[in-house]
Amino acid sequence: MKVCFLNFVGIPTRTEAAKSNLIGGLNTILSNLCESLVKLEGVSVDCIFRQEDIHLKSEQTNYNLIGIKTGLEKSVLREEIIKSLELSSDKVSEILYRNKSDIIHTAGLEAGLVMLKLKQSGLDIPWVHTNFATLSVRKVILDGANQSVAEYDHISKQEKACLQECDHIIALSNDDKSEIKLVFKVKEEKISVVYPGINKNIFFSINENEKRLNIISAGRMSQIKDFPFLLRSFKIFRDIYRGTEQLNIIGGNYLERKSLGLNELIKKLDLKGFVNLYDGLSQEKLANFFRVSKVFVGCSKHETFGLLPVEAMACGLPAIVRNISGYKETAISKSFIVKDELEMANKIYEILNLSDENYKKLCIKSMNSSFKYSCEKSAEQHVDIYRKIILSKRAG
């Protein structure tokens, strides 16, 4: 089986995921999937990506990376990417036929719209689509961005066209599936929930007895990740409990953190000296941070799945998360889902002050909870879906 991914906002490799603030989670998920797919007997993978401004110097992959030049020399607005790629659709079609692709899997709206144009032009290769940014995400972004309601409605119509025209949709959570059904009127049998897998060769527990007292969070620097919520929660925690613990936040870079006003908020909340900000790290280095921390905090306004808390739990790190979207499906229990900043502060204190015996039990429970999010299982589920769609297409 020859699977071809179209992914036009990055390259699904771990190196690219680590260095890119904008597309790290997407590329991590795709990298894990591609690496697992090619280990299955009889499966090969091509990935077509937008080549400009992306450089791979040393990373080796078992899947074939195919770059397409579109005339864009750097990252630009979604509409400009889509317009330029539509002009390159003939190149994409040529590659698909030349490489004898059995199925096309688009990742993200940009690639989905290019595939939509190809299908409308007569391309008859089966098409599976995963929309990593749901309508709920765009609603959250719209609340604090310069995007107009008209632009939002336009993107919604584009998304609806992709979801209705593709042969099958892969949702990353049950919340995502429900939204696709209710908002876009897609039949349930056309949607499968397949949880992303995490790389267990990187995210694993070593020794819970070596845990420190630090609190940790991570993610790209964007409004939707809502690190100000975390800082306010940490402020409440310090004011009530007078703890000496440090808060480590990993992700993005200085300019991105500055654009969100994190340094100013740290100063305003009198947290200087208690909060450490780190640039985005490779998965290996991030896993090392998880293994020497005592609690992970997920503070996003929305997550389609929520990969980072699961990766943290795989390292034996308990995760507290907000009561939103995909977080609710991966939390180890309802007691680790909080609704506001005060509840977050109280839950942090509770975990930090567990007895050694009870904390170790919680670490083991967290690690065990992550086992069902396996790259291998996710790859097998994807292949089962691909086979059914290919057979259905041939029969039809």
Q: Give the CATH number for residue 261.
A: 3.40.50.2000
pLDDT, tens only, 190-213: 999 999 999 999 999 987 666 677
Residue 208: exposure state from Cβ atoms within 10 A (0-12, 13-18, ≥19): buried
Average pLDDT over all residues of the chain: 85
Same domain, 140 and 76: yes
Q: Which residue is associated with the tokens 């503070």?
A: 299
pLDDT, tens only, 257-267: 998 999 999 99
Rounded distance, CA 282 to CA 210, Å? 22
Looking at the domain assignment, is residue 322 inside a domain? Answer: yes
Confidence of residue 138 (pLDDT cuts 50, 70, 90): low
Same domain, 255 and 317: yes
Give pLDDT, residue 132.
Answer: 73
Same domain, 265 and 279: yes
Cβ-contact 309, 286 below 8 angstroms: no
Provide the domain limits for residue 48: 2-197+374-395
Looking at the domain assignment, is residue 202 inside a domain? Answer: no
Same domain, 226 and 120: no
Phi, psi dihedral angles at 285 (to 5 degrees): -70, -35
Same domain, 170 and 276: no
At 158, the amino acid letter reads Q
Looking at the domain assignment, is residue 48 inside a domain? Answer: yes
Task: At 236, list the tokens.
Answer: 């409440």
Same domain, 218 and 337: yes
Give pLDDT, residue 59.
Answer: 63
Task: At 70, list the tokens.
Answer: 């579109």
Cβ-contact 201, 378 below 8 angstroms: no
Comparing 287 with 74, the larger pLDDT belongs to 287
Task: At 66, list the tokens.
Answer: 């195919």
Same domain, 109 and 96: yes
Give the N- to C-terminal CA distance of the chain in Å, as an integer. 19
- β-strands 319-322, 64-68 pairing: unpaired
Give pLDDT, residue 76.
Answer: 52
pLDDT, tens only, 91-105: 888 888 888 999 999
Same domain, 105 and 155: yes
Same domain, 175 and 214: no
Which residues are within 8 A (CB) of 213 and not within 5 positions of it... i.e. 6 or more apart? 243, 244, 245, 246, 294, 352
Domains of the chain: total: 2
Same domain, 281 and 356: yes
Give pLDDT, residue 21.
Answer: 47
Rounded distance, CA 141 to CA 152, Å? 10
Looking at the domain assignment, is residue 187 inside a domain? Answer: yes
Q: What angle do CA 345, 261, 138 make, to 5 degrees?
A: 80
Percent helix, strand, coil in the chain, to 5, is 50, 15, 35
Rounded distance, CA 181 to CA 190, Å? 9
Looking at the domain assignment, is residue 39 inside a domain? Answer: yes
Rounded distance, CA 114 to CA 193, Å? 24
Looking at the domain assignment, is residue 178 inside a domain? Answer: yes
What sign results for the dihedral spanned by CA atoms 179, 129, 380, 35? negative
Same domain, 283 and 362: yes
Confidence of residue 250 (pLDDT cuts 50, 70, 90): very high
Looking at the domain assignment, is residue 364 inside a domain? Answer: yes
Give pLDDT, residue 86.
Answer: 64
Same domain, 100 and 137: yes
pLDDT average, residue stretch 330-349: 95
Looking at the domain assignment, is residue 203 inside a domain? Answer: no
Rounded distance, CA 237 to CA 36, Å? 41
pLDDT average, residue stretch 50-78: 66
Which residues are within 8 A (CB) of 338 and not within 5 positions of it... i.e. 6 or more apart? 320, 321, 322, 323, 344, 347
